[in-house]
Structure 1
Amino acid sequence: MKVHHFAPDDLSAAFGIDMSTVTGLGPGAGWGRVVPGGRSDAHQHDEIEVFVIVKGTGELVVDGERTPVGPGVVAMFEPFETHVIENVGTEDLVFFDLYWRDPARAVRAAGAGAAERRRFGQRPVFVFSTPPTPNGDLHLGHLSGPYLGADAYVRFQRMNGVDAWHLTGSDDYQSYVVDRARRDGRKPAETAAHFSAEIAATLALMDIRPDQYTATDTDATYQDGLRAFFSRVAASGRVALRETPALFDAETGDYLYEVGVAGGCPGCGQPTNGNICEECGEPNVCADLADPRTRRSGEAPRRDDVARYCLPLHEFADEVAAHHSLGRVPARLRELAHRVFARPQLDLPLTHPSQWGVAPAEAGGEDQVIWVWPEMSYGFLHGIEALGRGLDRDWRAGAPQQDWKIVHFFGYDNSFYHSLLYPVLYKLAHPGWEPDIDYHVNEFYLLEQQKFSTSRRHAVWGKDVLSADSVDAVRFFLSLTRPEGRRTNFDPAVYDTVLRDTLIGGWQSWLNELGTRVADGYGGQAPDAGVWTPEQTAFLDRLTVRLAAVTRSLGQDGFSLNQAAEELNGVVEDVRRFTGAEYAVAGVDRWDDHTRTTVALELAAARLLALAAAPVMPRFAERLAAALGLAEAGVWPSTVELLPAGTNVRLTDAVFFRPAGTPEEAGV
């Protein structure tokens, strides 16, 4: 017999609390202690872990859900469950820890996906695509990134029974709106309203219809809510009005930031505008730019001190790291945080002298507005409240709830704001709230190997290519080529090739041929499967593998439209390869029952495609489902199923895609 006693002297710091190691028991084991008011770091791992509480009062936080614990409670954590133990009492919380590996169980847990592990169905899921700047319409670079990503994500979650909503709007108070208004001879409010409407119309052409679209300048309750949020931040005592260096136009005296000034990035040295570097993602405060130049004149600006509300961001490295342990945070963002917090000091202005924007209550009549990027952190909470009013849900921006799941889609140039600045602002405004946020980031989509750019008019505009005929092909191609983890290039000639050879020559040709086979051989109705060969059994298994792969590629943890598009096309390639071999005996009486099975499997593949393509290509999926006699493509498939025998199939003359430039509307 082996006996181990709790020994405080054996404890040392681990996972944010005190832990010891006990050997000789078989599984890994040890004692843990959490001091009053303390908590462990949020973490997950591949082992199964068991806590046996022996003393004290605490709470377990598992994927955002809290459970009270005390002496006699035994809690087991599955592989990859994010968990925290907190001491909410007045004495030490002591527990015994056991952990071991079960590779098969870990693989199952990884394959199940976060939607099952985190019980998304019991939580509201708010999926945000970064509000676009209304200084121009949306181009394919915009559409390929946050907007298509968030739309497909929400569609998939809803097919799995999750209460998920897509929220965005227009970021009206950007300095880029002022610049565009000046060039167009308009007032900023006119420019913002005009392009906000254009943006919403382009999203609709892309079959992206957010559940909440907030135009910040015209929303009746937005400004007061923003002021209240900023007052909470200021009242934290960590933000104060400080005199810090700034840049001014040497001729006009205009205060310079963002679009008004350019220079060398203090982080990577590449050319950048004020406040953020699109190349490395690091912020600047304009006064630290190398060789700065006023954008309008090209002349060197003058330096002077100006009073602004500033946040000492460098003091929050630990808070940001703890936040990054809770949700899905790609390594690219964690690496950015490492670089930013390596700086000895970063006093970040949260307000700027300007007449366009929302002045904080603390400004006292001074010509100063809340900077639009800190403003956006409130804008997300405001969007949730506005959505809740329409759904009769008691969601309030001033009282964010712990069960909210937030998912952000944005471009890498916005990474600093979303994943570093906003968690800090939430900590200051709502110290009792631990936001559970997943981050999905895309790189730049290039056109002719240069960045899409609204200001330089270097773009393919959404309205120029989107129509009822083209929207599914565009969504598929952007999903296939969008810049996930690396920059990619949009090539119109490659798009035309994919449309002609893959979607029309591959998908549509196969479906039409299948329709002809069903019409000629089975009177237009799905046949029942007959005798099965080993090859046919293997093909059914192959379709099952494809279903699992596309499910993972659209799920919470492994979301990738690149992979989803490849897997969808893989279904068609698999079935064409399979039928190319199996139909060698088509028409031979002896093998009729086997051929019937092949046709039934083809229809199973078509059914799978109709369901699995719905998040990426909703119109195509709906038309294909209708042609197969399915009620709707509304529920995500859990298995590959044969089409019920006797179902009327209308695929022979179905048109799902048309060559570019064909004016007729697609239909079946």
Structure 2
Amino acid sequence: MPSFTLVTAAPPTPNGDLHLGHLSGPYSGADIRIRAHRLLGGEGLFLTGSDLHQSYVPTKARRDGSDPLEMAEGFADEIARIFDSAGFAPDVYVRPWRSELHTELVSEFFARLHAQGALRVRTEQALFCADCDRYLFEAHLTGKCPHCGAGSDGNSCENCALPNRVTDLVAPVCNACGGRPVERAVERLVFPLSEYAERLRAFHAATAMSPQLEALCADMIDRGLPDIPVGHPTDWGLPMPVPGFEDHRIYVWAEMMPGYFAELAEALRAAGRDPEEWRTVWNHPETEIVQYFGFDNGYFHALLQPALLMAYDPDFQLPKALVTNEFYQLGASKFSTSRRHAIWANDLLAAVPASTARFVLAHDRPENERTSFTWSRFHELADDELAGRWQSWLTGLFSRLATRTDGAIPAGTTPLPSQERFLRLLEGIAEECLAAYSPAAFSPRRATRLLCELVTCAQDFAAAQSRTRDAGRAAGALAAEAAAARLLAQLAHPVMPEFAEQLWAALGETGTPRWDGVRPPAAGQRVATGARFFEALPADLEEQVMKP
């Protein structure tokens, strides 16, 4: 296992509150990964921030009649509070408008690309709204994707994840006035992505990726990669540090690559280290870089940004794993902030323990296909599984410890063959679960199902051992069952840190859960026999959360 890991989550756009669709993806994934790495004794940093320069920020502010920066500050505050309520613990949450390091590193990145001849000046057709006198791209216009026919904004399609040239959108309209755009020639800087095709193929072959991301990248390379404008003649974003293009703004998806550098530098500064060490940390041979993002943003993270990094410095370390998620839907359609078709994270987390919400989101995480939230499914997992089977087994275990050993972990004797088999079974579950937390096979869905399997096996073991009359062998069975509870605290910690720490402490352990193998707590260690961890959710939960 690498001794140090950098885990990045694509920065959220500060133009609205977060809903469960947001939480189910990069932010929960990145938090689970960094916690799993630390469980095994590794060190690392979880990096994210605000994606201030998305065009969706000024368009939202304009509709609301507010100042874009003031609006972004308010939503960034709310996002930080939601992260805290959910138990997501990034080591840094960078707000670019407050970070001189962000501005400096992004500007240096593009100045160097230009100095090295990696950017090209092109005169191309672009779309403008004559009535609004505005250059149209991204959030400023809507049409139909030229590749799949779904509704799409400019530059990329959420449905098929393929980029568009904006001018090839079908039936585009200006989102400000509803007018039909006109084409005009514009001179801008582009990045010749096609020149990096073979290097990108080699990168993908050496990188852990989902099958759908592999297919997207391979298909795009086979069809021929487009040249990508990295600057736009607009008024929102960081100025392009290239002579003659100072009035253009850096394309936000290209800005994101050096933005990760800035997040690392800010995290080092927050830890009391020299932020100038970011290059050393990023490129250290024992550093592993793992990136989390939605599949709809796959082209940006798997093609554009790695190629920009290759152009910036071919010796820079590239990510070892790119972890994606599909859309988490509400019923039959995806969560939508603009349509208010959503369950808001702050409303749910105000009514439901974070560990319960995190378990449900991980269990039904949309890893390879879209999955859907329903209230019946939420109650099934929260009430029947957690407050039902898990709590029932743990209550029984602590009750047996209270009545048979006066609340202390017993010292087992030579175990029966069935007890040995149970301990070996636990070791197998642990191996599989830890593998499900690894970057190459990352699957919280698999991990949570293994946690449920652990509880089922422990329940079955307790029932089967209930006829054991010999005191020493009965003590051995109880010690083995306590080992299962201890293992549950260890393996659940990445997904459900609050619950895992409560169970760990109830078993008499100190600190936070750590991986040291499958074993019972020390003999004689006192346990909190009256501990409870889960309660059934209120019957009117939906009304509480969905109130107007």
TM-score (norm 1): 0.77
Shift, 1:646, TM fit? 1.4
Task: Please give the residue correspondences for 1:306-317 in structure 2 after superposition, counting only pairs within 5 Å.
Answer: 306-317=186-197
Range with greater deviation from structure 2 (562-571 or 627-636): 627-636
Instruction: Indicate the residue corresponding to 1:141 in structure 2.
Output: 21
Q: Please tell me whether residue 641 in structure 1 is matched to residue 519 in structure 2.
A: yes
* Distance across 1 between alignment mates of 2:537 and 2:139: 37
Task: Please give the residue correspondences for 1:406-445 in structure 2 after superposition, counting only pairs within 5 Å.
Answer: 406-445=289-328
Shift, 1:274, TM fit? 0.9
Q: Give the one of 511, 515, 518 matched to 2:398.
A: 515
Shift, 1:243, TM fit? 1.2
Shift, 1:541, TM fit? 1.3
SS in 1 for 2:523: coil
Query: What CA RMSD, in Å, does the superposition of the two structures yield over aligned residues?
Result: 2.0
Change (3 A) 1:564 1:345: closer
Instruction: Indicate the residue corresponding to 1:303 in structure 2.
Output: 183
Matched residue type, 1:595: A
Instruction: Indicate the residue corresponding to 1:177 in structure 2.
Output: 57
Contact kept? 2:323, 2:439, Cα under 8 Å: no
* Distance across 1 between alignment mates of 2:9 and 2:157: 20
Shift, 1:468, TM fit? 8.7
Instruction: Indicate the residue corresponding to 2:544 in structure 1.
Output: none
Q: Give the one of 656, 663, 667 matched to 2:533.
A: 656
Unaligned runs of 5+ in 1: 1-114, 664-668
Structure having the larger proportion of residues in helix: 2
SS in 1 for 2:82: helix
Q: Please tell me whether residue 613 in structure 1 is matched to residue 492 in structure 2.
A: yes
Q: Give the one of 546, 549, 563 matched to 2:432.
A: 549
Unaligned runs of 5+ in 2: 541-548
Task: Please give the residue correspondences for 1:153-192 in structure 2 after superposition, counting only pairs within 5 Å.
Answer: 153-192=33-72
Contact kept? 1:402, 1:433, Cα under 8 Å: no
Matched residue type, 1:632: G
* Distance across 2 between alignment mates of 1:501 and 1:373: 43
Contact kept? 2:196, 2:307, Cα under 8 Å: yes
* Distance across 1 between alignment mates of 2:38 and 2:250: 36
SS in 2 for 1:248: strand
SS in 2 for 1:580: helix
Q: Please tell me whether residue 401 in structure 1 is matched to residue 279 in structure 2.
A: no
Contact kept? 1:130, 1:146, Cα under 8 Å: yes
Shift, 1:295, TM fit? 2.5
| Cα deviation code 1:117-163 (max 9, x no counterpart) | xxx11xx3210011000001111111111111111110111122222
Matched residue type, 2:237: G
Matched residue type, 1:644: A
Q: Give the one of 338, 345, 348 matched to 1:465.
A: 348
Instruction: Indicate the residue corresponding to 1:496 in structure 2.
Output: 379
Q: Give the one of 457, 464, 472 matched to 1:593.
A: 472
SS in 2 for 1:431: coil
The structure showing larger relative contact order (alpha-carbon pairs under 8 Å, at least 6 residues apart) is 2
SS in 1 for 2:342: coil
Contact kept? 1:326, 1:436, Cα under 8 Å: no
Instruction: Indicate the residue corresponding to 2:458 in structure 1.
Output: 575
Instruction: Indicate the residue corresponding to 1:275 in structure 2.
Output: 155
Contact kept? 1:575, 1:605, Cα under 8 Å: yes
Q: Give the one of 631, 641, 648 matched to 2:510.
A: 631
* Distance across 2 between alignment mates of 1:274 and 1:557: 33
Instruction: Indicate the residue corresponding to 1:85 in structure 2.
Output: none
Shift, 1:495, TM fit? 0.8
Contact kept? 1:227, 1:360, Cα under 8 Å: yes
Instruction: Give the share of equivalent positions with the same residue, in percent.
Output: 37
Task: Please give the residue correspondences for 1:522-561 in structure 2 after superposition, counting only pairs within 5 Å.
Answer: 522-530=405-413, 532-561=415-444
Q: Please tell me whether residue 373 in structure 1 is matched to residue 253 in structure 2.
A: yes
Instruction: Indicate the residue corresponding to 1:205 in structure 2.
Output: 85
| Cα deviation code 1:502-560 (max 9, x no counterpart) | 11111112111111111111111122223533222221111111111111111232111
Structure having the larger proportion of residues in strand: 1
Shift, 1:485, TM fit? 1.0
Q: Please tell me whether residue 319 in structure 1 is matched to residue 199 in structure 2.
A: yes
Shift, 1:477, TM fit? 0.7
Matched residue type, 1:658: E
Shift, 1:364, TM fit? 3.9
Q: Give the aligned length.
A: 537
Range with greater deviation from structure 2 (253-262 or 410-419): 253-262
Shift, 1:320, TM fit? 0.8
* Distance across 1 between alignment mates of 2:176 and 2:236: 19
Range with greater deviation from structure 2 (214-223 or 370-379): 214-223
Matched residue type, 1:649: V
* Distance across 2 between alignment mates of 1:595 and 1:558: 38
Matched residue type, 2:143: G
Contact kept? 2:363, 2:448, Cα under 8 Å: yes
Range with greater deviation from structure 2 (208-217 or 267-276): 267-276
* Distance across 2 between alignment mates of 1:581 and 1:398: 57
Matched residue type, 1:401: N
* Distance across 2 between alignment mates of 1:548 and 1:345: 41
Instruction: Indicate the residue corresponding to 1:33 in structure 2.
Output: none
Contact kept? 1:129, 1:146, Cα under 8 Å: yes
SS in 2 for 1:632: coil
Change (3 A) 1:393 1:219: closer
Q: Give the one of 339, 361, 365 matched to 1:478.
A: 361
Shift, 1:398, TM fit? 6.7
Change (3 A) 1:175 1:566: same
SS in 1 for 2:393: helix
